[in-house]
Amino acid sequence: AGIHFHEFVIQPRPVRRLCKTQNIITVNGQFPGPTVEARNGDFVVIRVVNAAQYNISIHWHGLRMMRNPWADGPSYVTQCPIQPGRSYTYRFRIRDQEGTLWWHAHTGFLRATVYGAFIIYPRLGSSYPFSMPKQEYPILLGEWFDTDPVLLKSQADFTGLPPNSSVAYTINGQPGDLYRCSRQETVRVQVDAGDTILLRVISSALNQELFFSIANHTMTVVGTDAAYTKPFRTKLLVIGPGQTFNVLVTADQPPGLYYMAAHAYESAQNAPFDNTTTTAILEYRSTKLTNQNRPRSPILPALPPFNDTPTATAFTAGIKGLTKVKVFKKVDVNLYFIVGLGLINCTNPNSPQCQGPNGTRFTASINNVSFVLPTTTSLMQAYYEGIPGVFTTDFPPVPPLQFDYTGNVPRGLWTPSHGTRLYKLKYGSKVQIVLQDTSIVTTEEHPMHVHGFHFFVVGSGFGNFNPTTDPLKFNLVDPPVRNTIGTPPGGWVAIRFVADNPGIWFVHCHIDSHLNWGLGMALLVENGVGLSQSVKPPPSDLPQC
Ligand code: C2O
């Protein structure tokens, strides 16, 4: 197996977009940050040096980090953040994962600019389960803000409102042709007519799900979140923050210029969002463009309306897995997570923090608990060193169908309590979690991410999950493997995984404003028998708070 060394220097850098220069936090001065490439089974060593003025940590989104939570990265969950002037070296091994993942800052809203692709090729001597593409390109979808992300977060903390929507979406850091001042830098992907290329599409968007399409071209999805899928032909991707797709695209159209484009998928009603469109250009190299046939502008793809939930849901449900690992039939631990927004009563409804309906303040929760991170240590350090008082393990289970979650939800569920309450799982237990959206405040799709695991998505539907009838329709034959899955707006999604990775693992909505409001919890997976089933000791340079 190979070993890959990288140094990531976190540093501010002036970056010019949309006619305006601003200082953003970067890695090695690059935006987006460097791409990490490795093969399945390789070792990766990344020294992160914090030369910026903010605390930071880096999460390797989707990498399983077996028995090695110390390398996972979320601040105050598995490590204290790296303080300015300090460094920390992430050391980990890639185990049985192939495809596209990514890395991002996991402190406050810093991931708005601190992110990059993480590409895992098959082991030497093995190959893709599809014919070798001629070329490969990472396509990182993002959001561009005209405010410093740290200011964004303090603004969100103060007002309790989502940060201002982005001012542009980006492809590989570039807003593209449709925005003022951006044309020169628009990303171009070059193809030879007849060739098939592999696009590794990643959504690093902060608060917005996206529709993505390429004019006149059909995509074939062959992977999601670093797991292979049955080839699935589609004109459209729906991609939530945190998710990735590997798609094959064949240059089978008349030589020319074609836009690839993304705009918002906004499932919540009356929510403010950025309704602009980002583009990159698919450019046929063989194009014998003359002044006569040169298109004045590339062809734009048709994207669905912003609120097209039926189209989004049908796309997601159409993806089937291609894995040798079979999903288990018998579940040991059956959990039901109610995810949604909520409202807190304000003592002073006229305060600027209280801009919710009737002078309330927005919050978010799972099972009516709004998650609070510790500040003086990380959950994992507290667990490993036995520091009391940092968290409890009484995360409350709720029975399904206790209420009509998508109807008129009882007042008690509007006002969650705050807490750092974990759920304890025995090593090796077979876990099912049904994630149920509510209609509190609004129904909305929540892209839910589980650290430390990838999971089978065995079913989803609209309305309330029915524990008697819905499991009969579960796909236990070829469910897709994901690490982030949308809870449909006003609906539910069921996931399954084996708790074979001891440690503490964050579970949260990957929409950062929701996470900031408390839409998260953590699983504590206990050690199994013997060293090979136990958490490794922490590295000596693990940051302290
Ligand atoms: Cu990509 Cu905890 O997140």
Domain boundaries, the chain: 1-129, 130-318, 333-533
What architecture (CATH level 2) is domain 130-318? Sandwich (2.60)
pLDDT tier, 463 (very low <50, low <70, confident <90, very high otherwise) = very high
% of the chain at pLDDT higher than 90: 81
C-alpha 533 – ligand 1 centre gap (Å): 24
Ligand 1 atom with minimal separation from the 451 CA: 2
C-alpha 518 – ligand 1 centre gap (Å): 14
The H or E element containing residue 22 is: strand 20-27
Report the nearest-CA residue for atom 1 of ligand 1: 61
pLDDT tier, 170 (very low <50, low <70, confident <90, very high otherwise) = very high
Residue 341 and residue 362 in contact, taking contact as beta carbons nearer than 8 Å:
yes
Q: Does domain 333-533 have CATH number 2.60.40.420?
A: yes
The C-alpha atoms of residue 431 and residue 339 are separated, in whole angstroms, by 18
**ipTM exceeding the 0.90 mark:** yes
C-alpha 495 – ligand 1 centre gap (Å): 17
- Determine the topology of domain 1-129 in CATH: Immunoglobulin-like (2.60.40)
Q: Is 86 left (phi over 0), alpha (psi -120 to 50) or beta?
A: beta
Q: Do domains 1-129 and 130-318 have the same CATH topology?
A: yes
C-alpha 540 – ligand 1 centre gap (Å): 24
Instruction: Specify the pairing of strand 3-17 against strand 43-50.
Output: parallel
Tokens of 537: 């000791």
The C-alpha atoms of residue 59 and residue 88 are separated, in whole angstroms, by 12
299 vs 297 pLDDT, higher one? 299
**pTM given for the model:** 0.96
pLDDT at residue 154 is higher than 70: no
Q: Ligand 1: which residues within 6 Å by Cβ?
A: 59, 61, 74, 104, 106, 242, 449, 451, 506, 508, 510
Residue the block writes with tokens 């490993």? 384
Q: What average pLDDT does this structure show over 426-444? A: 95
Report the nearest-CA residue for atom 3 of ligand 1: 61
Ligand 1 atom with minimal separation from the 508 CA: 2
| Predicted local confidence at residue 164, as pLDDT | 59
pLDDT tier, 480 (very low <50, low <70, confident <90, very high otherwise) = very high
* Out of 58-67, 144-153, 305-314, least confident range: 144-153
The C-alpha atoms of residue 413 and residue 425 are separated, in whole angstroms, by 25
C-alpha 293 – ligand 1 centre gap (Å): 46
Instruction: Specify the pairing of strand 20-27 against strand 3-17.
Output: antiparallel
Ligand 1 atom with minimal separation from the 61 CA: 1
pLDDT tier, 515 (very low <50, low <70, confident <90, very high otherwise) = very high
Residue among 92, 80, 53, 157 nearest 374 (CA): 80
Q: What is the mean pLDDT of the chain?
A: 93
pLDDT tier, 287 (very low <50, low <70, confident <90, very high otherwise) = low
Residue among 520, 523, 478, 474 nearest 494 (CA): 474
The C-alpha atoms of residue 516 and residue 372 are separated, in whole angstroms, by 9
Residues 6+ apart with CB under 8 A from 203: 141, 142, 209, 210, 239, 240, 241, 242, 243, 244
The C-alpha atoms of residue 363 and residue 341 are separated, in whole angstroms, by 6
% of the chain at pLDDT higher than 70: 95
